[in-house]
Amino acid sequence: MLASPLAKRLAQQGGIDLSGLRGSGPNGRIVKSDIEAALKSPYGRVQQPQESRALTQPSAPQRAPAPFKSLESQGIRPGTYDLVPLDLMRKTIAKRMTESFRDVPHFPLTIDIEIDALLKARGEINKRFGDSGVRISVNDMCIKAAALALKLVPESNASYTPDGIAQHHHADIAVAVAVPHGLIAPIIWQAETKGLAQISHEMADLAKRAKDKKLKPEEYQGGTFSISNMGMLGIKSFASIINEPHGMIMSIGAGDKRPVVRNDALAIATVMSVTVTCDHRVVDGALGAAFLKAFRSFIEDPMAMLL
């Protein structure tokens, strides 16, 4: 069955069997609109042939998703709401996050980090190099610190596979970006090798093109670690769902003034809460704590990122 590369990728993400579709493109070619129509149809997801299922399904029995309950069965009266159709992105996000939350044994670790030194360093960098177009954000510095921490604790930069734990050579950091109707996580590849200015430039470019829906698949598929920063929205602390195949995802909250104890005396510091959600098959509690300790060391002493 002829299908465009985009249609093949969308069909794979949405669980559509191309052999059961009739294309509307030239010479019967299956195009994007055909896949979108199949996703909206209750009969769109065609069962795979028996031979294909034997190759792709694990031998161990899998827990079936709970059946969907209609709003009416839960006491919502018909006509009291508007139904906004799901687009392909929202359907894909729902499918992947449900599978991750259900199938990955996960747990959170949270740490509070003082960021006054980081804020001071950021201000000095932007003041000195602002005329050159450099504008570093706290998020850029967190990306760099996470990449360096992953290299310092390499066992944490890993993914689970049935055949063993894959330990990655580079820290490829996927960063969540809010776009209309969902989230997408473009990747800073080999972030440990890049300076703050390059990370800032790449992140600004990726975020803009993500919102314009101009990212290429290779710019958001893959990666070894995820960051979700909701601090800029005022969220103080939260935990995220793991983005498979990553072994961890970091949730960054807002920095605010809090009382701290120094030398047995109260002081005021700007503190940021950070949570990592860990895949327990890959990162246990001790390993996750070692990663957070390394991450905090770079955030609280940003000069260490230059070494």
Active site residues: 280
Whether the Cβ atoms of residue 114 and residue 260 lie closer than 8 Å to each other: yes
Q: Which of these, 286, 289, 250, lies nearest to 144 by C-alpha position?
A: 250
Cβ neighbours of residue 161 under 8 Å, at least 6 residues apart?
Answer: 245
Helix (H) or strand (E) holding 8: helix 5-14
**Which token pair is 7?**
């249609």
**Continuous H helices in 104-137:** 116-129
The DSSP line for 209-222 is: HHHTT---GGGTS-
Checking phi first, is residue 75 left (phi over 0); if not, alpha (psi -120 to 50) or beta? left
CA–CA dist 224, 257 (Å, integer)? 32
C-alpha gyration radius of the chain: 22
CA atoms within 13 A on the CB side of 53: 6
Whether the Cβ atoms of residue 273 and residue 91 lie closer than 8 Å to each other: no
Checking phi first, is residue 28 left (phi over 0); if not, alpha (psi -120 to 50) or beta? left
**Which token pair is 125?**
């960098």
